[in-house]
């Protein structure tokens, strides 16, 4: 196996963007018995050529049924958007605003939110729900992944109740600091504790696939390619 050649996140993320894609990262995790690391297939990029990589900043959302519940025993219920504004302002460079916990029936991210995220150097956003303000979001050119475009607002329908806490999407656990990778084929999560091995395996496979591709283009059979390289 190749040896680690990056010294920090900037170097790793640059190399990943140049050489890797979600499929090969997922294949590497499969080899490590990390079989459930892809987020729901409904989550897609706002634009087909968007590529996302960054550290997870998980945001926990919950459904509500009115914008302000005055007199509630939970002070967040009388606070517009709950802790959403605090979560946005806490974003760091190369972090991904990744939100789950709500019913997928309203928009969890929009243009003003993502403008703030971009100003802070965030890598992008992933929502287990919808996004809105599509034309403005496209102008931002920030990688956004969601169920699609839907204008219905979270204001009276949901609140952020915590952030930088573990969240789950369809059984996939996302911890603060995990690496999130997204492209046209989906979004996967690389656990921080195993990230070095995952990426070493992924770079090795991606480089091997280029060799196999040339062999097949030159006429080698699929069976012979597999027997020689164990890559397909």
Mean pLDDT throughout 98-127?
97
Closest-CA residue to 96 (of 211, 2, 174): 174
Domain that holds residue 130: 38-190
How far is residue 133's CA from residue 190's CA, in Å, rounded to a whole number? 29
Percent of the chain past pLDDT 90, that is, above it, reads 85
The tokens of 209 are what?
Answer: 């696939």
In the chain, the number of structural domains is 2
Q: Name the binding residues.
A: 110-113, 132-133
Q: Name the binding residues for substrate.
A: 110-113, 132
In a domain, 12, yes or no: no
Does residue 224 surpass a pLDDT of 80? no
In a domain, 2, yes or no: no
Determine contact, residues 51/19, Cβ cutoff 8 Å: no
φ, ψ (nearest 5 deg) of residue 221 = -75, 160
Lookup result for tokens 């102008």: 139
Determine contact, residues 147/119, Cβ cutoff 8 Å: no
Does residue 158 surpass a pLDDT of 90? yes
The tokens of 220 are what?
Answer: 């080698």
| 42 confidence band (pLDDT: 50, 70, 90) | very high
3-state secondary structure of 134: helix
3-state secondary structure of 200: helix
Q: Name the binding residues for Mg(2+).
A: 133
In a domain, 182, yes or no: yes
Residues 202 and 165 in one domain: no
């Amino acid at each position: 196996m190749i040896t680690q050649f990056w010294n920090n996140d900037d170097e790793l993320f640059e190399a990943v963007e140049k050489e890797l894609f979600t499929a090969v990262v997922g294949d590497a995790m499969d080899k490590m018995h990390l079989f459930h690391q892809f987020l729901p297939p409904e989550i897609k990029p706002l634009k087909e050529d968007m590529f996302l990589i960054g550290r997870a900043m998980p945001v926990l959302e919950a459904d509500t049924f009115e914008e302000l519940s005055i007199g509630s025993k939970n002070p967040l219920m009388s606070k517009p958007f709950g802790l959403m504004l605090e979560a946005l302002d806490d974003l760091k460079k190369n972090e991904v605003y990744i939100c789950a916990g709500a019913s997928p029936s309203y928009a969890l991210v929009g243009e003003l939110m993502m403008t703030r995220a971009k100003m802070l150097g965030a890598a992008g956003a992933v929502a287990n729900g919808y996004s809105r303000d599509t034309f403005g979001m496209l102008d931002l050119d920030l990688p956004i992944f969601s169920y699609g475009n839907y204008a219905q607002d979270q204001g009276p329908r949901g609140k952020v109740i915590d952030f930088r806490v573990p969240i789950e999407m369809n059984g996939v656990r996302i911890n603060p600091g995990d690496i999130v990778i997204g492209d046209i084929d989906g979004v996967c999560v690389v656990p921080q504790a195993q990230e070095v091995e995952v990426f070493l395996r992924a770079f090795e496979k991606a480089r091997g696939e280029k060799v196999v591709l040339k062999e097949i283009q030159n006429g080698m059979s699929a069976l012979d390619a597999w027997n020689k390289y164990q890559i397909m």
